[in-house]
Amino acid sequence: MHRVQLHYTLSRDAGDALIRNPLPEMLQAVAQQGSISAAARALGLSYRHVWGALKRWEDQLGGELVTWGKGQSAQLSEFGTKLLWAERQAQARLAPQIAALHADLERAFAVAFDADAHVLTLYASHDDALVALRAHAATQADAGALHLDIRFTGSVDAIRALNEGRCTLAGFHTVDQPAADSVAARSYKPLLQPGLHKIIGFAQRTQGLIVAPGNPLGLHSLADVVRTGARFINRPLGSGTRVLLDDLLAQAGVDAQAIPGYMRNEPSHTAIAQAVAAGAADVGMGIEVAARTRGLDFVPLVQERYHLACLKASLDQPATQALRRLLQTPEWQAHMKALPGYTPLHCGEVLAMSTVLPWWQFASKKRAPLPRKQP
């Protein structure tokens, strides 16, 4: 079976064709010109190049493309004619989709040639405010376009990606002033280093139980989930919400294994809410906006901070500065406030990590006493 590979060309003048394919172009030229030499001249190529290319394609495709007899003009074989017909049919049928893809590619590459545009790669724990920020940033072209390349992953994996140089910012979340012996501290402390990393403030958001409309099982705490045997759905290991849940369970003295469904997981707050809405689960841990968007009820359990971590060295990069300016605008902060369960918190400000995440204790340096003057 022969397969199709798609390629595109980036140049100052790529022509008007939606998809360029040299084989149909050569076949078309041969059909119109009646000889390989005339086809080569029409295409601006050498006779040797066109002849050799046609022979290579005949070998690869397993069929004769061009035929001619003594004293006769070159003609396409039946196989060559069908190939040219197939190309025309594909171009005609796919023209709208190809045109849309062509326009998307040109818009994307236009950023690379725009000196005022910035691209910022962000690996982050799933967050609806970041989704809204990406859309909001795309509308702020007057201030220099900022394109957020966001890859949603677990909080732990996001920080690892930052440390491995795969992104400029990492989004993760913790409760305010997490304890030094918390699961959060054990998860994030080995990955972050004061002096090397910095925290950019972003948001305060509400996490809690996503339940069916009317909260039919009367769930108001994690202990209620255990007591009622409600079918729970969790977030994966390494996600910030899983870390948060394990801390809350430890604080409440609840055994995780006593929760039906603790080992079942979904990759995002949206997926958790969808599972509850579809009746596949009775309850899951997530953010308020995910529940409200789907008409579900929400039981708040804790307020947490959503942080953007970066390397100190990247604070002066134009893309990071553009993001910080955007985060501090009244327009964006008003937009965030409109999201259920969200409040801007030190939005765009650079924060000392040892203040936001007080897991490190630095011994104060005592000055050595000055030597006494000899009489």
Q: Is 85 left (phi over 0), alpha (psi -120 to 50) or beta?
A: alpha
Q: How many CB atoms lie within 10 A of CB 252?
A: 12
For residue 264, the model assigns a pLDDT of 96
For residue 296, the model assigns a pLDDT of 98
| 226 in Cβ contact with 219 (< 8 Å) | no
Q: Residue 266 burial (CB < 10 Å; 0-12/13-18/19+)?
A: buried
For residue 94, the model assigns a pLDDT of 76
CB within 8 A of 184, min separation 6: which ones?
Answer: 174, 175, 178, 243, 244, 247
For residue 30, the model assigns a pLDDT of 92
> Which whole-number Å values give the CA distances from 206 to 203, 289, 338, in the listed order?
10, 9, 14
Distance CA 95, CA 91 (A): 6
Give the CA-trace dihedral at 327, 331, 333, 339, to 10 degrees: -120
SS3 content of the chain, % helix, strand, coil (to 5): 45, 20, 35
For residue 362, the model assigns a pLDDT of 52
Distance CA 86, CA 82 (A): 6
For residue 163, the model assigns a pLDDT of 97
| 208 in Cβ contact with 285 (< 8 Å) | yes
For residue 371, the model assigns a pLDDT of 53
Q: Where are the domains of the chain?
A: 22-112, 118-356
**Helices and strands in the chain: count of H runs, count of E runs:** 14, 11
Strand intervals (E) in the chain: 66-67, 75-76, 118-124, 146-152, 169-175, 197-211, 232-233, 283-287, 297-311, 342-344, 350-351
Supply the Cα-derived Rg of the chain in whole angstroms: 30
pTM for the structure as a whole: 0.74
152 is written with which tokens? 């949603």
Distance CA 127, CA 273 (A): 13
- The DSSP code sequence of 270-310 is HHHHHHHHTTS-SEEEEEHHHHHHTT-EEEEEEEEEEEEEE
For residue 326, the model assigns a pLDDT of 95
> pLDDT in tens for each of the 375 residues of the chain?
667 777 766 766 655 556 678 898 999 999 999 999 999 999 999 999 999 999 999 999 999 999 977 677 889 999 999 999 988 888 777 777 877 787 778 777 878 888 888 899 999 999 999 999 999 998 876 556 889 999 999 999 999 999 999 999 999 999 998 999 999 999 999 999 988 999 999 999 999 999 999 999 999 999 999 999 999 999 999 999 999 999 999 999 999 999 999 999 999 999 999 999 999 999 999 999 999 999 999 999 999 999 999 999 999 999 999 999 999 999 999 999 999 999 999 999 999 888 899 886 654 444 445 455 554
Domain 118-356 has CATH 3.40.390.10: no
CA-wise closest residue to 273 among 256, 297, 249 = 297
CA-wise closest residue to 54 among 71, 29, 73 = 29
CATH number of 22-112: 1.10.10.10
